[in-house]
Amino acid sequence: RKEVEQDPGPFNVPEGATVAFNCTYSNSASQSFFWYRQDCRKEPKLLMSVYSSGNEDGRFTAQLNRASQYISLLIRDSKLSDSATYLCVVNIGIVDKLIFGTGTRLQVFP
Amino acid sequence: DADVTQTPRNRITKTGKRIMLECSQTKGHDRMYWYRQDPGLGLRLIYYSFDVKDINKGEISDGYSVSRQAQAKFSLSLESAIPNQTALYFCATSDPKTGGPDDTQYFGPGTRLTVL
């Protein structure tokens, strides 16, 4: 089993749609969770950290379910500029050792 | 100006050649990392360094070596390049003192390496 698993997509959605991505992780000792965004051939950039209580940043909401070991990202009112690959990232219980999922590709169309 | 820079941005080389990829950062972070990214495999950690005197192997260090010349500089070398080292290479930095979640990493723009 992969340490971090994501549906690769692509998710093709119209502008204004709501879309959700899930990610599962295998190491129950993981303490830190993130969503990164990566545009084609560019570097990953931190989108948001994921906290146990859930957190929201504008149109983006992240949730963590420790019991089931999954993380979700909800994007509301999708914009064309949201088209990118979204990487689920988890630490493996060792400080600063992050494991990256292979990413979920989102394509927003007009 | 970018906080994390990588040189070169693109490189084509031949099998057996020695290649060095360089990373510099102005973020003042102690911790630096080298990753490679291949289609369908995600980012994989090659080496990491928590300070100038600290070097650690990641999950795929074979065929690579690193040098931490200063807090701001971390170089990755391919001693004898082979075609399956063709990939996109990223440098990253982090620093738990910044106040954000401890593990947040900040990436350079990447180096696209092709080994023929």
pLDDT tens digits, B49-94: 988 999 999 989 999 999 999 999 999 999 999 999 999 999 999 8
Pair type for strands A11-14 and A104-109: parallel
Helices (H), B44-110: none
CB contact at 8 A, B106 and B94:
yes
Side-chain-side CA neighbours of B99 within 13 Å: the count stands at 0
Average predicted confidence (pLDDT) for chain B:
91
Burial annotation B50-77 (CB, 10 A radius, 16+ → b, else e): beeeebeebebbeebebebeebbebbbe
Nearest CA in chain A to B106: A45
A96 closest CB neighbour out of B41, B103, B112 = B103
Residue B59 Cα, gap to closest chain A Cα (Å): 10
Specify the 3-state DSSP secondary structure of B84.
Answer: helix
What is the spatial distance between Cα B25 and Cα B14, in angstroms, rounded to a whole number?
29
For residue B83, the model assigns a pLDDT of: 96
Q: Which of residues 40-69 of B touch A (CB under 8 A)?
A: 40-45, 48, 50
Residues with Cβ within 8 Å of A58's Cβ and at least 6 positions away in sequence, in order, are none
Query: Which residues are registered as beta bridge partners of B30?
Result: none
Q: Give the pLDDT mean for B36-47.
A: 91
Residues of chain A with confidence (pLDDT) below 70: 1, 93-96
For residue B12, the model assigns a pLDDT of: 97
